[in-house]
């Protein structure tokens, strides 16, 4: 291990944590359990955007008094999360106030502990699998998807680790988005083998699948606790145990559970759900180009169409689709269809990802066709770096590609975001105060993320004080009144609008 890899750093605070060589945390775990005697134990595997918040929801169960142990790996990427939680700081910056109050309550109750020691699994009544399963994309110029691959090795290792330590009666509830077929073809065989090795009765294996619909943002907690849930199990026992557990963390009175017949079905539901969304975004891309060509305001057209209940979910034009799910789930599905079921790929769903990946490039092209001048040495201000309005998540943000394209053309780009203060993927600081940035000479302002903070007239007022510049709205954020005012002084154009 080289020196740099000895530490895991909290990217928000820059605080460094020394990664232990020895993964024995048994004393602390038992200490925690002793303080929480008589409580059922929930272990959450993975402390990312889902697992960390899922831990809070379990620690604040609506029906049970659980002791919750979050487990992650003692490596550079994850170890700081474990230590940060145990120091009393939640590892995610979130706009949902419930996050803070849930975390504070868990501290007061002393029922949430984080560790890297898989020994925790041996104490669990329920283990929730919330680790990531990534798709490796190989893209060529302008982000065109060329090929992709799914590597199950770390997922398999995580399941094996559970199988090595869990009890015979533990419920393993998979929440990770997986290629359909994974619970039956990957998880079950691994656990079965471990049960046999450990002399457990394989009839007692309980594996459930219930995918999360977590939406980072102002309703983070509610997107788990107050949201419809689909679930399944590999057998009746698994279904029963999963149901019983889910009823303790989800408000099933208002949001009744939906049982599907088998884990293939729930696994497919999750990736289909996200592929549908990705497809509907991709669909509108070529219509944006059409609107731009034919002097049509596509935002108005789509809003007119949305009045029909059968068309209420049509997407608006935009800079691109980001986040962790929509950019990969269609590929997970297509990979499964090919590799697990030896069938043709999901061509349309793959095509949707391919188109969406290129959206920031199309947005840049439209800019260049309107702006005409060289970008070299121009001062450009980006409003927003996260992938979605009012969300502090920059993973796979479409802003990344358009940022790269502006930089490549010689622009100097200032970054603003009201929530994100550090852009991890680009390793750049992001300014939270817009007035500070507007003190600079600015040639171009690009509205890149739909944060609520950008929708009020204060920012328009600030921009009206600047000398004439170019404003490019890539997401149709500005309203008609704002556009009219800004146009009295500035040059302005909107993606997906030909009537600029």
What residues make contact with its own copies under the rule CB under 8 A? 180-181, 213, 228, 230, 258, 260-262, 264-265, 268-269, 272-273, 275-277, 279-280, 282-283, 285-287, 289-291, 293-298, 300-302, 304-305, 307-308, 310-314, 333, 336-337, 340-341, 343-344, 346-349, 351, 355, 499
Cα torsion for 19, 21, 27, 29, to the nearest 10°?
50
Cross-strand partners of 416: 383, 431
Q: Nearest approach, Cβ of 229 to its own copies (angstroms)?
A: 9
Q: How far apart are CA 219 and CA 326, in angstroms?
A: 19
The encoded tokens of residue 48 equal 């990312």
What burial class does residue 243 get, using C-beta atoms within 10 Å of its C-beta: 0-12 exposed, 13-18 middle, 19+ buried? Answer: middle
Q: Nearest approach, Cβ of 284 to its own copies (angstroms)?
A: 9
Q: How far apart are CA 130 and CA 132, in angstroms?
A: 7
> Please, which residue, 43 or 302, has the CB nearer to its own copies?
302
> Please, which residue, 196 or 295, has the CB nearer to its own copies?
295
List of residues 6+ apart from 20 with CB closer than 8 A? 74, 116
Q: Nearest approach, Cβ of 279 to its own copies (angstroms)?
A: 5
> Please, which residue, 11 or 228, has the CB nearer to its own copies?
228
> Please, which residue, 165 or 354, has the CB nearer to its own copies?
354
Q: Nearest approach, Cβ of 338 to its own copies (angstroms)?
A: 10
Q: How far apart are CA 225 and CA 53, in angstroms?
A: 10
Residue where the block lists tokens 């999901």: 346
Q: Nearest approach, Cβ of 334 to its own copies (angstroms)?
A: 9
Q: How far apart are CA 156 and CA 336, in angstroms?
A: 16
Count CB atoms within 10 A of the CB of residue 304: 10
Count CB atoms within 10 A of the CB of residue 427: 8
Q: Nearest approach, Cβ of 333 to its own copies (angstroms)?
A: 7
Listed residue (174, 155, 56, 188) closest to 109, CA to CA: 56
What burial class does residue 4 get, using C-beta atoms within 10 Å of its C-beta: 0-12 exposed, 13-18 middle, 19+ buried? Answer: exposed
Q: Nearest approach, Cβ of 302 to its own copies (angstroms)?
A: 8
> Please, which residue, 385 or 494, has the CB nearer to its own copies?
494
Residue where the block lists tokens 């209420």: 312
> Please, which residue, 114 or 291, has the CB nearer to its own copies?
291
> Please, which residue, 456 or 479, has the CB nearer to its own copies?
479
> Please, which residue, 277 or 451, has the CB nearer to its own copies?
277
The encoded tokens of residue 390 equal 């009012």
Q: Nearest approach, Cβ of 353 to its own copies (angstroms)?
A: 13
């Amino acid at each position: 291990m080289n020196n740099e890899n000895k530490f895991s750093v909290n990217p928000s605070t820059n605080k460094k944590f020394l990664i232990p060589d020895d993964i024995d945390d048994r004393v602390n775990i038992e200490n925690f359990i002793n303080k929480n005697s008589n409580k059922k134990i929930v272990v959450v595997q993975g402390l990312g955007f889902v697992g960390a918040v899922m831990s809070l929801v379990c620690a604040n169960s609506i029906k049970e008094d659980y002791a919750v142990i979050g487990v992650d790996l003692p490596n550079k990427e994850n170890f700081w999360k474990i230590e940060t939680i145990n120091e009393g700081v939640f590892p995610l910056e979130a706009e949902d106030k419930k996050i803070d109050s849930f975390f504070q309550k868990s501290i007061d109750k002393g029922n949430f502990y984080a560790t890297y020691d898989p020994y925790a699994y041996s104490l669990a009544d329920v283990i929730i699998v919330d680790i990531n399963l990534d798709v490796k994309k190989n893209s060529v110029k302008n982000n065109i998807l060329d090929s992709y691959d799914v590597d199950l090795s770390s997922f398999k290792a995580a399941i094996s680790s559970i199988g090595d330590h869990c009890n015979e009666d533990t419920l393993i509830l998979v929440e990770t988005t997986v290629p359909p077929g994974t619970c039956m073809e990957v998880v079950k065989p691994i656990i079965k083998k471990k049960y046999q090795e450990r002399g457990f009765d394989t009839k007692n294996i309980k594996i459930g699948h219930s995918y999360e619909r977590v939406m980072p943002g102002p309703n983070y907690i509610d997107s788990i606790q107050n949201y419809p849930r689909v679930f399944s199990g590999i057998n009746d026992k698994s279904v029963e145990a999963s149901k019983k557990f889910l009823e303790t963390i989800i408000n099933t009175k208002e949001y009744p559970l939906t049982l599907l017949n088998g884990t293939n079905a729930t696994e497919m539901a999750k990736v289909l759900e996200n592929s549908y969304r990705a497809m509907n975004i991709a669909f509108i891309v070529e219509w944006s180009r059409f609107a731009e060509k034919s002097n049509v305001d596509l935002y108005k057209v789509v809003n007119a169409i949305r009045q029909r209940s059968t068309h209420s979910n049509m997407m608006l034009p935009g800079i691109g689709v980001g986040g962790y799910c929509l950019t990969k789930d269609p590929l997970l599905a297509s990979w499964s269809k090919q590799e697990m079921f030896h069938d043709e790929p999901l061509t349309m769903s793959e095509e949707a990802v391919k188109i969406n990946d290129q959206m920031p490039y199309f947005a840049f092209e439209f800019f260049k066709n309107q702006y005409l001048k060289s970008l070299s040495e121009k001062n450009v201000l980006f409003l927003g770096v996260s992938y979605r309005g009012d969300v502090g998540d920059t993973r796979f943000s479409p802003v990344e590609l358009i940022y790269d394209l502006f930089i490549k053309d010689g622009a100097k780009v200032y970054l603003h975001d009201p929530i994100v203060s550090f852009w991890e993927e680009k390793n750049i600081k992001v300014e939270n105060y817009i007035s500070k940035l507007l003190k600079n000479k600015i040639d171009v302002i690009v509205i890149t993320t739909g944060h609520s903070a950008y929708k009020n007239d204060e920012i328009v007022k600030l921009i009206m004080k600047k000398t004439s510049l170019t404003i490019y709205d890539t997401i149709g954020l500005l309203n008609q009144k704002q556009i009219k005012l800004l146009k009295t002084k500035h040059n302005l154009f909107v993606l997906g609008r030909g009537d600029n």
